[in-house]
Structure 1
């Protein structure tokens, strides 16, 4: 006989869901369809005017493409590098150890401090890397001086900061690989690559795909390093969508209605891309089973 759990036991979870998901979403939609400023939200109904204003912004639509490019690139690289480092740590034997703990330092450092440190390192005059650039014949080079260079620098910084997260999760996932299966592969004279593809990957694949999805979402959220290092420049080259929304709602006109519309569109884009990745994950996991 199946006994039903009293509804009141689920009340805390339902309350949390309403407080942290339903209410913010409803309020965001309300801001999107009303004339709202930071001081006077929800003043009058405007329909789709805020959405039209969002798309009319010269920086918003290009920022969606740049944010997607940024998120996909850093998600792939951080996931692959994290898995590679986790395999090296496991191959060394033992636990995560001091080396693994040192790898986590970028992850536990405040993003603003990371941005300040890298900005000081990359300064063309007096920067920590200026001497190295001069030694290889690149004296006076400013990686942040061009649009492409600045975007690549932000990617490198993000990868440096978030690869440890992928390493930590991948290292934990490798712990579930059954030792007897690895021993059987060695007895059968299977090489490292064949052992990885036939024994290790089927066991850790779902977790690694989950890490990729998380890294994708984290890549979409990058904001601190833009504010500290590039301020969206040169031009609009590093003006990714979170920074555009920040400028719309919290700088200048404080147009919260348009900022809310941009946030809603951005959320739909992130959801669409994440759905594609999770679909690929489901197909890959199904193929491995």
Structure 2
């Protein structure tokens, strides 16, 4: 018997970052959105833990750990610890979410594994318990369970749904090399040079734009506090922003800590036009995706 669960990539429509706290973490105020790029995780009962990783052509999987360091294995162990059980599974991961691209592919795999193993072993874990286990694994894991559009507070792990009337389309321009999240945060702290920031907040104008489903208004409210430090580390990404403007994207921003650059479009036909324009300019890995989409969910094959 096996169970397959699909989990989406996440983007941050707003990512507000506060000063480093005494706990070693930065407080966040973010609005997540799940978009239609996915990882599929299939689990099988097994005598010991094992991981197999494959990927779509645009995904580089060589850097994804295939041992106990994989976040999916950690998720499985955490779920068993929650129930006080001793079991193991073989986990097959098929990745469509870019690796180290700022789109929380590892978190998606962890969330998918939690749901898949819960179904495989009929654990019937309450949703609140799953979210609690997910929050201990990483800041983005609870949102990968929830999906849709959501507010993220604390370190990003405290999630709650946000009213969203839009049917948004995004174009993601992938990079051929990743960008380390810890390095981006270190550069963020260096740029502060000792300045203490107020607690971050999500702007009300963003909530209004989502509630109205207005791409033009949403474009004016997108923001990411990690964008400037990431561009310090990867100044070559500035050319991607310029390319987006030249082909008519409504707005561009960095996805999370990067290096994927996201471009907001005015519907699917416009996303296709932007994709074609970027491809004509020589960008090879360009993907269009809708949002919001559902969080981690079981895949049923007919």
TM-score range (shorter-chain normalised) is under 0.3
For normalisation by structure 2, the TM-score amounts to: 0.25
Higher strand share: 2
Larger Rg over CA atoms: 1
Higher helix share: 1
Higher relative contact order (CA 8 A, sep 6+): 1
